[in-house]
Amino acid sequence: GQQLNQSPQSMFIQEGEDVSMNCTSSSIFNTWLWYKQDPGEGPVLLIALYKAGELTSNGRLTAQFGITRKDSFLNISASIPSDVGIYFCAGQLFPSGTYKYIFGTGTRLKVLA
């Protein structure tokens, strides 16, 4: 099935460092969503973006909807141990009058205390 490309695939960082990850696609999306998934649980919504160029923050998290509508990035500032997990981007598509969400390949984050 379709997937969005996320990078990096994984990263190890020191507590307190800033983190940046991005998501790219060959298709245009009208909505970008960022989720965090802990082991054995469903993804939890972090940030939703609806307009090209939009920059939105949620606490230490900041995400932007790319101008071309084909990419998005997520930044985490001053990382803490509980930031560990897998981060997924998701884009919304509108095939044939309906809609669906396609997920990125994920970025696995590990924070070293």
Partner 1 sequence: GAVVSQHPSWVICKSGTSVKIECRSLDFQATTMFWYRQFPKQSLMLMATSNEGSKATYEQGVEKDKFLINHASLTLSTLTVTSAHPEDSSFYICSASTGKYTEAFFGQGTRLTVV
Q: Does 85 bind partner 1 (CB under 8 A)?
A: no
x/- map, 89-108, partner 1, by CB under 8 A: -x-x-x---xxxxxxxxx--
Radius of gyration of the chain (CA): 14
Asked if 28 interacts with partner 1 (CB under 8 A), we say: no
Which of residues 41 and 113 has its CB atom nearest to partner 1 in the complex? 41
Amino acid at 102: I
Distances (CA, A) of 25 to 15, 29, 52, 55, 103: 30, 9, 14, 19, 11
Stretch in the footprint of partner 1 (CB under 8 A) among 14-22, 32-40, 59-67, 74-82:
32-40
Using CB under 8 A, which of 41, 59, 82, 113 touches partner 1?
Answer: 41
| Three-state secondary structure string covering 38-104 | CCCCCCEEEEEECCCCCEEEECCEEEEECCCCCEEEEEECCCCHHHCEEEEEEEEECCCCCCEEEEE
Q: Does 87 bind partner 1 (CB under 8 A)?
A: no
Quick one: 1 or 59, whose CB is closer to partner 1? 1
The residue ranges that bind partner 1 (CB under 8 A) are: 1, 3, 30-31, 33, 35, 40-45, 48, 50, 88, 90, 92, 94, 98-106
